[in-house]
Chains A and B, each alone.
Chain A
């Protein structure tokens, strides 16, 4: 009985949580007239695919949605690739290579940097990219994420606990540091790399403040920055059209989230343990 009441409560709360997402999906299939009619119909009376078709054709409110989503996917994947490669190399050295100069200092500085609020670097980084002439380029959209220390922190813990014997055996067989990193440690760390990859991809893909300021031309926007721009503009009443865009924007990240949910939760938990 108690379980039944609690489950009922859980269902009610789940409806509250999912309602805005379902409403977004429902509205995306309505024409603007129906979307603004102020009715509670979850199933559109005249369902239409026009919002999506126009969106993908680039006719929707004259914004290049396909370009935006391509930018987002490219920036997200490239940024994630860089983070995975650079932080795995660094944390391998920090965890396993004891002759690395200033090993402990570097580790403390890197991990300590996670405490630094983003606003401290936001404006000077903008000015830095500005003087390099890199505002409105993919460099500005990708590179800033490479300095994040979460990956170093996460992989350091994993590499530290890797058994020494395997590494020593490989060394006796003549393996050098690069071999040990690329042929032994990397293959052994696939699951934690996937975890870090999902976490990193989602946070880069979802960021909108930096890409909003770091891009100036419509073609260079990411989908999240594009949506933020439209939310400030005069488009805000065209809900049917806007919602088809948010659905398109949310699909990739929702797929990643649902497929990699366990890994994502794991990364968050490990971030919490620090």
Chain B
């Protein structure tokens, strides 16, 4: 071992320093500052920040209070979105990956690109495109329905259609990510497993359930976790497409947090909501990791 002098340690540290400063300034400090803010009556326009302790948190858990409503109604809406979108994000992602893998080699890359393309665009562009597609009077979808002699659908203004629209756009926009990960996982399943199974006379369904699924299980859990986290963070779709409507039926938690901060100008209570939301997301992902880990050991 080389003996390291303090000069050597110092030059080594200097390499980490620029990133470390950014990390502290734009991640570590905001986290601590957020906790501080959540313990104060922190208003956007006022200089005076009165210490209130856990009052904001207490209010969030006090049934009937405004904060309680904002938090738990928003949370329930978010959970609905998670329940509607996550199963499809996993299953459709897998189905698309399997379809692409079955295609002739020459066009495989082409179709992967087509399905993956929407993932490359911004959430705001995505929303504007779909505002046009979903437009009740002149939108692409209703024009198409009219051609087939069907009544217009209130895609962005009526229940349950708003949920259909939100899930549809989410699939269109993000499914490419899941598909790409699944394609990689499927390509790593050893080909001779399938050959051996064919010799034993296994049909396609058997091969799928007893070779493909067990082999890609870790990846499937990864997709499940990332899709759940992403769906918990849903914002662009309801914020720009339905604006939380009709009524508050698609107003997700993140919208309530940011409204409380920027429309209500109450950063303190909004921060308390944000911290609880973040803790919740982290708990959900830890539980899912645990389940993934536990199952792996059991297998």
Q: A-side interface residues toward B, CB under 8 Å?
A: 3, 6-7, 9-10, 13-14, 17-21, 23-24, 27, 35-40, 82, 85-87, 89-90, 92-94, 97-101, 106, 110, 113, 115-128, 143-144, 146-147, 149, 152, 176-178, 181, 202, 205-209, 213, 224-225, 227-228, 230-232, 236, 239, 242-243, 245-246, 249-250, 253-254, 257-258, 261, 264-265, 268-269, 272
Contact = CB atoms under 8 A, between A and B. Distances in A.
Contacts of B48: none
Interface of B: 2, 4, 8-9, 11-13, 15-16, 18-20, 22-23, 25-27, 29-31, 33-34, 37, 42, 96, 99-100, 102-104, 107, 111, 113-118, 120-125, 127-133, 135, 137-140, 142-144, 146-147, 172, 177, 180-181, 184, 219, 222, 226, 229, 232-233, 235-236, 240, 243, 254, 257-258, 261-262, 267, 270-271, 274-275, 277-278, 281-282, 285
A215 to B, nearest CB: 13
B140 A93 contact: no
Given A13-B115, A17-B114, A206 B13 contact: no
A125 B184 CA distance: 37
B144 A40 contact: yes
A6 B103 contact: yes
A258 B109 CA distance: 12
Contacts of B27: 113, 116, 121, 147
- 6 nearest A-B pairs in the assembled complex, by CB-CB distance: A99-B4, A93-B15, A228-B124, A124-B34, A90-B19, A147-B26
A98 to B, nearest CB: 8
User: Which applies to chain B's interface (DSSP): helix, strand, loop or mixed?
Assistant: helix
A224 B122 contact: yes
A20 B181 CA distance: 24
Given A18-B114, A90-B16, A127-B267, A27 B4 contact: no
Contacts of B103: 3, 6-7, 10
Nearest to A39: B143
Nearest to B184: A269
Nearest to A181: B15
Given A13-B99, A265-B116, 20 more contacts: A10-B103, A19-B140, A37-B138, A40-B143, A40-B147, A86-B19, A90-B15, A101-B9, A119-B257, A121-B27, A123-B274, A124-B271, A127-B267, A146-B19, A177-B15, A178-B11, A207-B122, A209-B236, A213-B258, A250-B122
B277 A119 contact: yes
A23 B133 CA distance: 8
Contacts of B13: 93, 100-101
A21 B25 contact: no
A39 B177 CA distance: 33
Contact of A124 (B37, B96, B100): B37
23 contacts: A3-B102, A7-B104, A13-B115, A19-B140, A21-B118, A36-B137, A38-B142, A85-B18, A93-B16, A98-B4, A115-B285, A119-B274, A120-B274, A121-B30, A123-B271, A124-B30, A147-B26, A227-B125, A228-B124, A243-B129, A245-B128, A246-B125, A254-B120
B121 A206 contact: yes
Nearest to B121: A250
A45 B118 CA distance: 27
User: Which one of A36, A125, A147 has the highest number of Cβ atoms from chain B below 10 Å of its Cβ?
Assistant: A147
Contacts of B33: 124, 127-128
A186 to B, nearest CB: 12
